[in-house]
């Protein structure tokens, strides 16, 4: 039994906005999150329930793929998933990410880590930031040659 997953897994959500919709031989919803925010689905096919804010009770659904912003063939959150019809700007909730989202995050292709909030008493009105999102200065802060490689005047 993996204790961390059992205890914290069900208590995290990754919220992401749909930036693009692509219709080819299949339909793709491109989110502003990527595998650097949640690598489990692309890495080993883990299932995470996905919902779309405001469309939880929609009856009309279609089979879609949910993908991220990296140009990698394993940057996806769901394949052939039955979901309500979405549009650009809709917010997707990827559920059960508490154990392996931020803790497994990385900065591939310069992707900055997102912020985190905690919600108390199941109330959106009672939430606090527990981690701010990274900045480019955070990303470069451990580089020893930062002063001559990345002058502040740029």
pLDDT digits (tens, 9 = 90+) for 63-110: 999 999 887 788 899 999 999 999 999 999 988 887 776 667 667 777
Active-site residue among 3, 71, 145, 149? Answer: 71
Mean pLDDT computed over 30-56: 87
Q: Are residues 84 and 149 in the same domain?
A: no
Residues 6+ apart with CB under 8 A from 152: none
- For 104-148, how does the pLDDT look when each residue is reduced to its tens digit (9 = 90+)? 766 777 788 877 777 777 777 788 877 888 888 888 888 776 566
Q: How far apart are CA 45 and CA 97, in angstroms?
A: 14
Does the active-site annotation cover 34?
no
- For 9-26, how does the pLDDT look when each residue is reduced to its tens digit (9 = 90+)? 677 788 899 999 999 999
Q: Are residues 92 and 67 in the same domain?
A: yes
Q: Are residues 19 and 70 in the same domain?
A: yes
Please say whether the dihedral angle defined by the alpha carbons of residues 40, 67, 89 and 137, taken in this order, is positive or negative.
positive
Q: Are residues 123 and 150 in the same domain?
A: yes
pLDDT reported for residue 148: 63
Q: Are residues 24 and 76 in the same domain?
A: yes
For the record, the structure tokens of 123 come out as: 């109330």
Q: Are residues 38 and 59 in the same domain?
A: yes
Task: Show the domain range for 128.
Answer: 115-154
Look at the chain and report how many structural domains it folds into: 2
Pairwise pLDDT comparison (60 vs 153), residue with the higher score = 60
């Amino acid at each position: 039994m993996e204790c961390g997953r059992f205890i914290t897994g069900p208590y995290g959500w990754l919220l992401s906005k749909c930036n693009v919709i692509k219709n080819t031989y299949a339909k793709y919803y491109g989110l502003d999150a990527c595998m650097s925010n949640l690598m489990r689905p692309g890495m080993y096919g883990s299932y995470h329930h996905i919902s779309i804010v405001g469309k939880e009770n929609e009856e009309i659904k279609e089979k879609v793929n949910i993908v991220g912003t990296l140009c990698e063939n394993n940057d996806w959150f769901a394949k052939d998933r039955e979901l309500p019809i979405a549009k650009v700007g809709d917010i997707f909730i990827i559920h059960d990410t508490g154990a392996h989202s931020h803790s497994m995050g990385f900065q591939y292709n310069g992707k900055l880590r997102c912020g985190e909030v905690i919600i108390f008493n199941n109330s959106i009105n009672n939430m606090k930031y527990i981690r701010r999102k990274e900045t480019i200065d955070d990303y470069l802060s451990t580089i020893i040659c930062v002063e001559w490689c990345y002058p502040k005047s740029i």
